[in-house]
Structure 1
């Protein structure tokens, strides 16, 4: 692999002291046979935070890219997630993910969806607390958990989730949920941080891109960073990977940030966690 570029990505300190790079690289919907190449490109572009999941079926490609990179394991932050259909068997599911990744430990392990109809996410959390106690996971958290799911989890939890990863972008900000997470000491992480590209066409975003000589994606990611949100954009294009990774260098004014925040429309792109029940198997 060629020399990686220097990265200036800021970090967020989680509630247990672990630091996570604030801009990561997501591999949702990256085909398994392309994952190694794309993740190698992302590492070359300076990313040190890779977000995958068992349900994506590309953990092995992520692991192969990390092994091929020559970058020390402790310099790369790896997130993976528990499949919905394996919430009753979280320990074995984690071991399968760890083996697929080819690593001794995972930096962050998340419950992918609450799937309230199953009634298993508290049981899954208990198993994850044991993994955390055994130091095979540096931090544990959740994804797609709404306020009521957090409340139910915390009634029985010994460990407060370090992260809640859910859909956040300028036109769907979930401000109340984000505020609740922060009040509980749970870091907020955004998937679909660019609104799957749709938010990049907003007039306010385009105007700010012209003002700063930046791409629309860089403007939206700079808004996430300024808002204290961890973001995991994805791209298969090396030039865009580099542009996205450089977004943290852009400092938006309070007026700029307000212009983007005003784009809220309440329009969710992904599934509703209150009713989502796909097994992911």
Structure 2
């Protein structure tokens, strides 16, 4: 598995397992399957209600905690709520710490929430802080006020919304660009793309594998979700082929700056760049 070094020195896999919309009673089994398929980055959130299942799967894997990189997210606004929420997440998951905790979206008092995360870093409860669904002005505001620099911005990114301008901004500020919904949750508008089909046939890969490999070569880390064993295995088998410069240019041309998740306009990242 390839990795990326975050700006605080932490090592993170470039491909992780997303747990959005996995029911709490199914999470342990799903994450266990992901672990045995080779995933070591597991992405969860307070909002998902499945942190407990993630923790159970890690403990029962028999592997050391240090083998894993676990991300969670807080949607809570303000210092006190966020501080309490971190403790609740740790208790729910049964973990001693999270490798990364993100502010899930730009909540009203996100600077206060960020301060709670900074204190949690000092206390050893989390190792790094990140953002999710923040546009570049919001990231700028965090950078101007932060005592602990964020390491990542996780935003909707896929073939039809590549976030090229935001990506340039994040790279320039030494933040990792991470894609949630990198396959558009299997949207037909992405998976039926004829360019993906042609490249998939050429490389004897699936269209999803080509779409994920493209993002990786563009410098974007990914956290696809899958429950079917075939897709679970395919989504991590991305390192035995490489797209050419010309092929990547063709895929860049598929960008429609189109959100597939119907986020409010205020959360649409590139339109505010």
Shorter chain as denominator, the TM-score bin is over 0.9
Question: Gapped runs of 5+ residues in structure 2?
Answer: 269-273
1:251 corresponding residue in structure 2: 242
Instruction: Give the C-alpha shift of residue 251 in structure 1.
Output: 1.0
CA deviation string 1:175-222 (max 9, x = no partner)? 111111111111110001012222121111010000000011110111
Q: Report matched runs for 1:1-281 at 5 Å.
A: 9-84=1-76, 88-115=80-107, 118=108, 120-198=109-187, 199-270=190-261, 271-272=263-264, 274=266
Question: Gapped runs of 5+ residues in structure 1?
Answer: 1-8, 277-281
| TM-aligned CA distance change 1:203 to 1:84, over 3 Å | farther
Instruction: Give the C-alpha shift of residue 98 in structure 1.
Output: 1.1
Aligned residues: 265
Q: Distance in 2 between matches of 1:184 and 1:159?
A: 14
Instruction: Give the C-alpha shift of residue 84 in structure 1.
Output: 3.8
| TM-aligned CA distance change 1:87 to 1:195, over 3 Å | farther
SS at match of 2:82: helix
| TM-aligned CA distance change 1:81 to 1:38, over 3 Å | same
| TM-aligned CA distance change 1:114 to 1:269, over 3 Å | same
Asked if the contact 1:144–1:273 (Cα under 8 Å) also holds between the matched residues in 2, the reply is no
Asked if the contact 2:162–2:257 (Cα under 8 Å) also holds between the matched residues in 1, the reply is yes
Q: TM-score, normalised by structure 1?
A: 0.91
Q: Distance in 1 between matches of 2:122 and 2:239?
A: 33
Q: Distance in 2 between matches of 1:250 and 1:54?
A: 36
Instruction: Give the C-alpha shift of residue 127 in structure 1.
Output: 1.0
Instruction: Give the C-alpha shift of residue 135 in structure 1.
Output: 2.2
Asked if the contact 2:16–2:43 (Cα under 8 Å) also holds between the matched residues in 1, the reply is yes
Asked if the contact 1:113–1:143 (Cα under 8 Å) also holds between the matched residues in 2, the reply is yes
Aligned Cα root-mean-square deviation (Å): 1.4
1:5 corresponding residue in structure 2: none
Q: TM-score, normalised by structure 2?
A: 0.93
Work out which structure has the larger RCO, using CA pairs closer than 8 Å and 6 or more positions apart in sequence: 1
Q: Distance in 2 between matches of 1:273 and 1:19?
A: 33
Asked if the contact 2:15–2:236 (Cα under 8 Å) also holds between the matched residues in 1, the reply is yes
CA deviation string 1:161-183 (max 9, x = no partner)? 10100000011011111111111
